[in-house]
């Protein structure tokens, strides 16, 4: 029976939960997630967790924050002057925004605090600092794609 190894393309169904049991994502009702194992397409703990599984295998993965989206980085939390927001915008805690940096890169942020003259923005991934639990089932394994050199 073929087992998942680095370089294989796999399809998995999954149900992702936080430690309190809250579901944050699931493939239920959708096509299974397809990715190349070891390519960095998914978080490290998920990638490592499917290795060695076979089609039809089910497993629950407990993934610590450092193997998921990492710990919250305090440098990704910044204070931004209210005067830089559009005049017709009323910033509220929990509001999601897209900011752009000097190079034109779009950075998603969430407002975590509103002060008199400024707003505190958090650019960390929403799941940063969270340990994650995934129930997974491997539904297909395709061998590694051959490297073609011409």
Asked whether residue 1 is domain-assigned, the answer is: no
Asked whether residue 18 is domain-assigned, the answer is: yes
pLDDT along the chain (150 residues), means of 10: 92 97 95 95 95 96 96 94 90 92 87 96 94 97 64
Retrieve residue 1's tokens.
């029976």
For residues 31 and 82, membership in a common domain is answered with no
Asked whether residue 148 is domain-assigned, the answer is: no
Spatial contact of 104 and 29, defined as CB atoms under 8 Å apart? no
For residues 18 and 61, membership in a common domain is answered with yes
The CATH code of the domain that includes 106 is 2.40.10.330
pLDDT value, residue 129: 95
6, 33, 55, 109, 139 from 13: Cα distances, Å = 19, 6, 11, 29, 7
* pTM > 0.85: no
Question: What is the domain range of residue 49?
Answer: 9-70+127-142
| CA pair distance 40, 43, nearest whole angstrom | 7
Provide the β-strand partners of residue 132: 18, 63
């Amino acid at each position: 029976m073929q087992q998942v190894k680095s370089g294989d393309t796999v399809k998995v169904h999954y149900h992702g939960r936080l430690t309190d049991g809250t579901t944050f994502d699931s493939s239920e009702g959708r096509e299974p997630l397809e990715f190349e194992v070891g390519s960095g397409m998914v978080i490290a703990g998920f990638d490592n967790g499917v290795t060695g599984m076979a089609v039809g295998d089910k497993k629950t993965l407990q993934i610590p924050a450092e193997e998921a989206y990492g710990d919250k980085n305090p440098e990704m939390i910044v204070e931004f002057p209210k005067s830089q927001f559009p005049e017709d915008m009323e910033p509220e805690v929990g509001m999601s925004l897209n900011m752009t940096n000097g190079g034109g890169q779009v950075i998603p942020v969430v407002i975590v605090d509103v002060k008199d003259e400024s707003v505190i923005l958090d650019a960390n991934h929403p799941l940063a600092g969270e340990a994650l639990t995934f129930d997974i089932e491997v539904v297909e394994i395709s061998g590694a794609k051959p490297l073609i050199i011409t």
